A and B are shown apart, each in its own frame.
Chain A
Amino acid sequence: MADAAIRPDLSLVLERITDGFFALDAQWRISYINAQARKLLHVRAECVGEFWLDVFPKARGRLFEREYHRAMRDQRPVQFVEYSETAELWFEVKAYPSPDGLSVYFRDVTSRIEAQREVERTTWRQQALIDFGRAALAGATYDQTLLDAIELLREILDASVVDLYHYDRSSGTFSIMRSEGWESGAWIDPHQPPLEHIAAVVRSGEPFVCSDLRIDPRARSLAQLERCGVLSCVATLIGTVQAPIGTIVAYNAQTRTFSVGDVRFVQSLSQSIAEFTSALESNRLMSEVLESIHDAFVAVDGDLRVTYVNRRMADYWGMTQSEIIGTRLSAYTATFESDGRVLGLYKEVLREGRALTFEDHNRERWHETRLYPFGNGVAAYVRDITARKNEQERVLELNAELERRVDERTTQLEVANKELESFAYSVSHDLRAPLRAIDGFSQAMLEDYGGGMDQRAKGYLDRVRRAAQRMADLIDALLQLSKVARAPMVFAPIDLSGIAGTVAAELGDSDSQRSVEVVIELGLTAHGEPHLMQIVLANLLGNAWKFTRHVERPQVYVGKNSEGEFYVRDNGAGFEMTYAGKLFGAFARLHPSDEYEGTGIGLATVARIIHRHGGSIRAQGVPGEGATFYFTLPAREP
């Protein structure tokens, strides 16, 4: 049992110590309490003698009660730290039992505990911030990120209400992005923070901290906020003063002294939100670009997981963009590509770090895919090239069709040519044989029976024979015409002067009674088929020779004019220019055959040869004065 009265000298000591002290007797009545204890516990000296739990009712059920009883029961000292609701302080308590009662020493350790708790909270906040940033990085949606931030503020700052305002710098206006915790009906203007000082945060960059809105002179809208049930708040800038994004405001239902760590926490959170916002903004820009391009787009990381897919690609794969992001590319390539090589090509780009392009045909569509190394993954642009492919195929088909038709036509031409050849062959053989019979038997008749014929009958037989001969000549000329049309062309340099000379000499030999003055320019050269050009000159000179028959001083001139045209000129019968166009047709004749013999095929043959060389031919004539035939030969093969 404790002494009812503590000795005066002891009492002096107890009054001086800085610890609080009280003593309880065996009946748990306060037998002594020093001044410090009275001060800390807000009791007066009159409490001595009262039952301790009547004096400190808030200690009931708490550690205080339990530990004191334990000490008495075990008769062993106890020591503990506990929050005293009576004192609203943290106490470190030491209690020493004796059979007579309990002596209790306690001291205020609130600041130490607070410091410890602040360290704990800081660690907690830091961990929370790290987790928050990690979630944002992992591709959480913007909404989810904001909700996470709000949740953190409620958890760590005991915020009852959190507002996130977006600030439009160009117009200087706010708009609420997210608001959580207001009781219904307590809504505050979504276009303006409730306090001017909160709005000022976006301009100054300084946080606004208010531990009691009721007594803060800056809180002029007090009534409004109080009505809404908030008493303290902290607001910080999201972004920088140069590029403010908005402000975050956390309100508490109670008054609260925000520590430096609290404010720093809100600032760090704002910083994270700002970073996330700007990352999102650049993502949004990129995404806008990728959504607006005509190509389908997909980006994959180094593990071939989809990090981004645009709408067009998602539509093609038949899923939403958010369903696809994060999944494996192989799920789609297996279904939507024609074979396994496609995934291999992505891997090749990863491995080689080089872009590549390939075409793919699947589901009746053609796609062109361009793969680029991108970050540590691959970006793929896929373009539908079905229309282009179809066009290409159509062109190919058209070409094939054209080729087929050309082949067909060539075959037809070959057949026609063959027919022409066999026609010419048969003409050459079979048309001449009857002519020989006509001529031969007419001659036989003249020889065997000529004695009994008068001159007139003999004359008729002569005419039969001449007609046969003429027809034979016609056949030969026609055969030559068909031959020059078909003959293979072997181009070589040609000495036209030389050929003309030879032809003229032959003409002179065959008609030695006549004297024709032939002048040939020297050095007339060209590029052409020698045999055919020989036929040309033979015909032209032959004509000149023939049509100068009735001229007193026949002259033939072979030369080249200033335009580069070769020409053969004579001073013979000439012709009317009206008929110049008819000259080069087969069987065309401008003179009666009894006056100037001929088949009418010679100039047609000449024109055919010149045209086959790619050259041109024309004629000029004056009746009774002569004719000139001009022709050109291109410098190169046509």
Chain B
Amino acid sequence: MGKPYILLVEDNPDDIDLTIRAFERNRIANEVVVVRDGAQACDFLFSEAHTHTRGLPALILLDLNLPKVSGLEVLQQVRAHATTQLLPTVILTSSKQEEDLIRGYRLGVNSYVRKPVDFNAFVEAVRQVGLYWLVLNEPPPTAGAGGM
């Protein structure tokens, strides 16, 4: 099993670059694996990841507006699968629409972060998320024990 990595589910290339840049600015060394839509995310989590030597990611950063399969549907499947149901998942999105917040939490998201327009504020947000979920927070046991 390799170093814990982050799965970034994001279709917008600008946001991908800015998010990775924010991680770099915060000197977060964990690898960021990017998938570009919800279908890819599911494929990765439910088949590829199992053959992957690294196993499941330590954290999923999930955008909501995704082609094919939406972020909330990905979340629903993640929580439905035995292997991924405890996986720390953070919604990282532009909107703070009430219905998104409610549905996200109802489906069992661990955290909901709105991407600020101000890049400096965004960098700060990414810093806190990384610090909290990768350093401060104790991961669920299955994430480690269940890893292949």
Contact = CB atoms under 8 A, between A and B. Distances in A.
B22 to A, nearest CB: 8
A437 B93 contact: no
Nearest to A442: B119
B120 A437 contact: no
Contact of A440 (B64, B96, B99, B119): B119
Interface string A413-454: 000000000001100111011111101111110000000000
B21 A440 contact: yes
Contacts of A432: 94-95, 115, 117
B96 A428 contact: yes
A469 interface: yes
A425 B94 CA distance: 10
23 contacts: A425-B95, A425-B99, A429-B95, A429-B97, A430-B94, A433-B14, A433-B15, A433-B94, A435-B117, A436-B14, A436-B15, A436-B18, A436-B94, A436-B117, A436-B119, A437-B12, A439-B117, A439-B118, A439-B119, A443-B120, A444-B18, A444-B21, A468-B117
A472 interface: yes
B32 to A, nearest CB: 16
A429 B64 contact: yes
A428 B97 contact: yes
Interface of B: 12, 14-15, 18, 21, 64-65, 93-97, 99, 115-120, 122
Contacts of B93: 429
A439 B120 CA distance: 9
- Identify which of B21, B64, B94, B96 gathers the most chain A CB atoms within 10 Å of its CB: B94
Q: Which 6 A-B pairs have the closest CB atoms?
A: A437-B14, A472-B117, A440-B119, A428-B95, A443-B119, A440-B18
A437 B16 CA distance: 10
B129 to A, nearest CB: 16
Contacts of A443: 119-120
B94 A441 contact: no
A432 B92 CA distance: 13
Interface in A560-593: none
B5 to A, nearest CB: 23
A620 to B, nearest CB: 36
Nearest to B117: A472
Contacts of A428: 94-97
Contacts of B117: 432, 435-436, 439, 468-469, 472
B14 A469 contact: no
A463 to B, nearest CB: 14
A429 B119 contact: no
A444 B99 CA distance: 33
A429 B94 contact: yes
Contacts of A429: 64-65, 93-95, 97
Interface of chain B: mostly helix, strand, loop or mixed: loop
Contacts of B15: 433, 436-437
Nearest to A437: B14
Contacts of A430: 65, 94
Contacts of A465: 118-119
Given A425-B97, A432-B94, A441 B120 contact: no
Given A433-B14, A436-B119, A439-B117, 7 more contacts: A428-B96, A429-B65, A433-B15, A436-B117, A437-B12, A443-B120, A465-B118
- Identify which of B64, B97, B122 gathers the most chain A CB atoms within 10 Å of its CB: B97
Contacts of A469: 117-118
A505 to B, nearest CB: 24
Nearest to A427: B95
A553 B18 CA distance: 45
Contacts of B122: 436, 440
A460 to B, nearest CB: 16
Nearest to B18: A440
A594 B44 CA distance: 50
A326 B14 CA distance: 102
Contacts of A425: 95, 97, 99
Contacts of A433: 12, 14-15, 94
Interface string A462-477: 0001001100100000
B101 to A, nearest CB: 11
A428 B122 CA distance: 17
A584 B21 CA distance: 42
Contacts of B64: 429
A444 to B, nearest CB: 6
B46 to A, nearest CB: 26
Interface in A119-153: none
Contacts of A444: 18, 21, 119
Nearest to B14: A437
B95 A436 contact: no
Contacts of B118: 439, 465, 469
A424 B97 contact: yes
Nearest to B93: A429
A432 B119 CA distance: 12
A444 B119 CA distance: 9
Nearest to B96: A428
Contacts of B95: 425, 428-429, 432
A441 B97 contact: no
Nearest to B98: A483
A458 to B, nearest CB: 15
Contacts of B120: 443
A244 to B, nearest CB: 100
B28 to A, nearest CB: 17
B18 A437 contact: yes
A429 B15 CA distance: 12
Contacts of A468: 117
A469 B122 CA distance: 13
Nearest to B115: A436
Interface string A244-258: 000000000000000
Nearest to A421: B99
A11 to B, nearest CB: 156
Contacts of B96: 428
B125 to A, nearest CB: 11
A443 B93 CA distance: 20
A631 to B, nearest CB: 26
B103 to A, nearest CB: 12
B100 to A, nearest CB: 8
A468 B14 CA distance: 15
Nearest to A428: B95
- Identify which of A436, A441, A465 gathers the most chain B CB atoms within 10 Å of its CB: A436
